[in-house]
Amino acid sequence: MIRARTAGIAALLACVTPLAAATAAATVTRVQVSGGALLGVLSDGVAAYKGIPFAAAPVGPLRWRPPQPAKAWRGVRRALDFAPACMQDAPRSTASGSAAPISEDCLYLNVWTAAARASERRPVMVWIYGGGFMSGMTSTPTYDGSALARAGVVLVSLAYRVGAFGFLAHPQLSREGGGSSGNYGLQDMVAGLRWVQRNIARFGGDPRRVTIFGESAGGIAVSMLAAAPPAHGLFQRVICESGGSFSPARLDHEAGEMVWTLSDAEQRGQAFLERLGARDIDAARALPATRIQSAPLDTFHEGFWPVLDGRMLPGDQYVLYSQGRFNDTPVLVGFNSNEGGLFLRPGLVGPLDEQQVRTGYGDRAELILAAYPHADRRQAERAGADLFRDISFGWQTWAWASLQSAHGRSKAFVYYFDHRTPQSPDGPLHAAELPYVFGTLGASSQRDTPERQPRPQDLRMSQLIMRYWVNFAARADPNGPGLPPWPAFDATQQAMVLDATPGARPLPNLQQLQAVDAYFRYRRLQHAGR
């Protein structure tokens, strides 16, 4: 293992975390990075380095500022435990199964590697967590990087600011930022990727083969990085699971639109400070983090989402791709068959309601109603879940792949995850693919995946997905010996359907996606006419 140190191991192991100390073969390892020396733990052939600072703590005067360089340290830093998660609601954090504390000092990353030498140049995968841009953390057990590291990659997971700390826009912040504000969480990701470029070779990784991958808000984030000028050259492939951001900017309460313009986000930022009782940003920076976190807010209507700031996000991604203005890399994108089932409950997603559709979908409401049959209660529930799936995740995936194949030099590969279990007879819910991707089925906290005793077919599906993902990270193509052939997405609209008989077939919901596409074309024309 990279620069393994055995001298004085008995004394060092006394300080190792309980998890590492319980592993009989554990060894403390050492590696030098740009900030100083690190101690990690080697267990079952994988060295893990946790809680590595990649930026300064964004506290006090650094709150709501771009990430600043991390301070170097003297001596050897023990990289044995996850750092605190970024500020968020405690119930959201505990739901993931993580025991990590919450703090505003949270800009840290983790590395797992099975490389024996720094010269190996293994492909690198950088994980960006989801959570609606309001929560999420690297310490979630599902995201453990050991299995993917054993499969041949160097796995990195990085933290970013969420909620008001990561995505507050305000006129004063825009003046400070030279005309833009609100995307501090995305700037954290860029800072983390720059750290990877500087340091990952020391862990046996190849900085010229970096894949960014994420799910849900993490998938939305990687799609934004795929069009963000500041992220150019920091990665060479993209994997997006149930994400993407290709709908127009939000104007009011239109269905499927989430990204605010800078001016609208600034107005919502001003309203947020008024509720805090802060006269300006300086006063808000002086408030305790807990006061800001506990402030009442409407997450979808107050700008705590990435913002079209003109710099990190120059504009509507659909338009940018149509103009060839994006970071052209191979992409592997997809979604789950029953994404919307996770949200099918009061207050989130209900049975399809004709009046609500006519209100939210304007002149294209009848087209949507025809594409999603809803004659009885059961049909209406299915239609409500499927419409949420398609407008939030399915169409974003389909539009991205279509734009990449039409305007990019690199290939797009699309999947449709439909692996069913006794817990998910109607198809996998949102985020259900994650333990299959990470090889953590036994540690999964996902609601519809096997928690303790995965079936043989579950383990086979996990191995299939991991091989596809690792192949893509290594060669920009998921195909490999012994795997069902996965064609690139093109005019034939072929996707890899990951079900009981995996194979390339047309997307099962293509007709519905085309109806949603007609709706978004209508909204984009409305935007152009403003």
Which residues make beta-bridge pairs with 52? 109
DSSP code per residue over 268-300: HHHHHHHHHT-SSHHHHHTS-HHHHHTS---TT
Distance, CA of 499 to CA of 484 (rounded, Å): 12
Which pair of tokens denotes residue 59?
């506290």
Which pair of tokens denotes residue 21?
């100390």
Distance, CA of 317 to CA of 321 (rounded, Å): 6
Which pair of tokens denotes residue 457?
């077919």
Which pair of tokens denotes residue 355?
């009046």
Hey, how many other C-beta atoms are within 10 angstroms of the C-beta on 236?
A: 20
Catalytic residue among 93, 174, 181, 216: 216
- By CB atoms closer than 10 A (0-12, 13-18, 19+), residue 487 is middle
Residues 6+ apart with CB under 8 A from 335: 241, 242, 389, 393, 394, 397, 416, 417
Catalytic residue among 170, 381, 430, 444: 430
Catalytic residue among 266, 302, 339, 381: 339
State the Rg of the chain over Cα.
23
Hey, how many other C-beta atoms are within 10 angstroms of the C-beta on 121?
A: 17
Contact predicate 385/374, CB 8 Å: no
To the query of whether residue 430 is one of the catalytic residues in this protein, the response is: yes
Nearest to 303 by CA among 421, 473, 159, 165: 165
Distance, CA of 99 to CA of 519 (rounded, Å): 43
Local structure of 46: helix, strand or coil:
strand
Distance, CA of 191 to CA of 92 (rounded, Å): 25
Distance, CA of 186 to CA of 169 (rounded, Å): 13
Residues 6+ apart with CB under 8 A from 530: 251
Residues, the chain, total? 530
To the query of whether residue 253 is one of the catalytic residues in this protein, the response is: no
Distance, CA of 320 to CA of 306 (rounded, Å): 16
Residues labelled as active-site residues: 216, 339, 430
